């Protein structure tokens, strides 16, 4: 009897472990693509701080890392987005360390999810400048009307460790975001792409340009705010694509190691 109880306890523990384990998505690169869970938040945020904040076009042009208030508030903002549980992480096959992250949220209505519309309450002058441009880009895009739907998955941050950028990890993350969109039965996916390389990757993943703001034309008080975004970085762009209805109604079982579990997982939107 005790042996049977022990076996049941083992099965229960195994089942619980499977439920809590992050889901793995198909990856076209030599890395794992997983749902980003809370134990990896800090590692993902360190990657963003060390590389996205240092190398992303607007962050670099505005010397974001020299503005401590802006850095801290940007990290706090990203951490809040991660709690929506719709972000993905790429990890090394050898070490399991985080090598890339796609921070994504379900954008369900302009009123509720205009992420940057309260720039006046954000601490840090550099962060306010960045958010001002991104907010304007979102408003110009008017993605809900452009897509013709009230909901879509929006990618806000796409960051890959420099040593993995030529290995297809960024493409794998974008493809996994599309898989996630299908699994969530959302009609469209979009994202903010602020450098030439990420825009090229998005285009290769069949994203279309919906709107853009050229850095040279973003002038506030007679000053080009982002006057040196780096070679090949000419604009901030919103790019996206619609998911065909047949893909949403008949989810591809190969898109996830366990797509059925993905449908049942608790996707939290606040």
DSSP 225: T
Q: Given strand 24-25, what is the order of strands in its sheet?
A: 24-25, 32-35, 88-91, 98-107, 152-160, 188-193, 235-242, 208-214
Q: pLDDT, tens digit, for every residue of 169-211? A: 999 999 999 999 999 999 999 999 999 999 999 999 999 999 9
Q: pLDDT, tens digit, for every residue of 63-122? A: 999 999 999 999 999 999 999 999 999 999 999 999 999 999 999 875 554 555 554 478
112 token code pair: 């509720």
Q: How far is CA 236 from the centre of its chain?
A: 15
Tokens 């090598």, residue located: 99
What rounded mean pLDDT belongs to the chain? 86
CA atoms 115, 119, 124, 125: torsion sign: positive
Q: pLDDT, tens digit, for every residue of 25-53? A: 999 899 999 999 999 999 999 999 999 99
Which ranges constitute the DSSP H helices of the chain?
Answer: 2-20, 41-47, 53-55, 57-61, 68-82, 110-113, 125-141, 143-147, 169-183, 196-204, 245-249, 259-264
- Residue predicted with more confidence, 26 or 248: 26
pLDDT value, residue 225: 97
């Amino acid at each position: 009897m005790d042996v049977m109880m022990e076996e049941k306890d083992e099965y229960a523990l195994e089942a619980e472990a499977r439920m809590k384990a992050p889901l793995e998505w198909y990856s076209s690169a030599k890395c794992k693509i997983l749902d980003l869970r809370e134990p990896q938040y800090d590692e993902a945020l360190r990657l963003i701080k060390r590389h996205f904040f240092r190398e992303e076009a607007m962050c670099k042009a505005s010397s974001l890392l020299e503005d401590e208030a802006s850095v801290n508030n940007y990290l706090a903002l990203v951490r809040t987005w991660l709690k929506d549980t719709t972000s993905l992480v790429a990890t090394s096959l050898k070490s399991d360390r985080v090598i890339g992250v796609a921070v994504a949220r379900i954008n369900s209505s302009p009123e509720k999810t205009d992420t940057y519309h309260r720039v006046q309450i954000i601490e840090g002058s550099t962060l306010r400048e960045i958010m001002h441009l991104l907010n304007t880009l979102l408003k110009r895009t008017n993605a809900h009307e452009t897509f013709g739907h009230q909901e879509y998955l929006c990618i806000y941050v796409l960051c890959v460790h420099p040593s993995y950028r030529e290995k297809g990890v960024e493409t794998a993350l974008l493809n996994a975001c599309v898989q996630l969109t299908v699994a969530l039965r959302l009609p469209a996916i979009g994202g903010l792409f602020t450098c030439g390389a990420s825009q090229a990757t998005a285009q290769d993943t069949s994203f279309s340009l919906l709107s853009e703001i050229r850095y040279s034309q973003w002038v506030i008080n007679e000053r080009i705010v982002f006057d040196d975004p780096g070679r090949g970085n000419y604009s901030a762009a919103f790019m996206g694509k619609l998911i065909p209805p047949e893909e949403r109604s008949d989810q591809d079982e190969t898109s996830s190691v366990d797509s059925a579990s993905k449908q049942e997982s608790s996707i939290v939107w606040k």
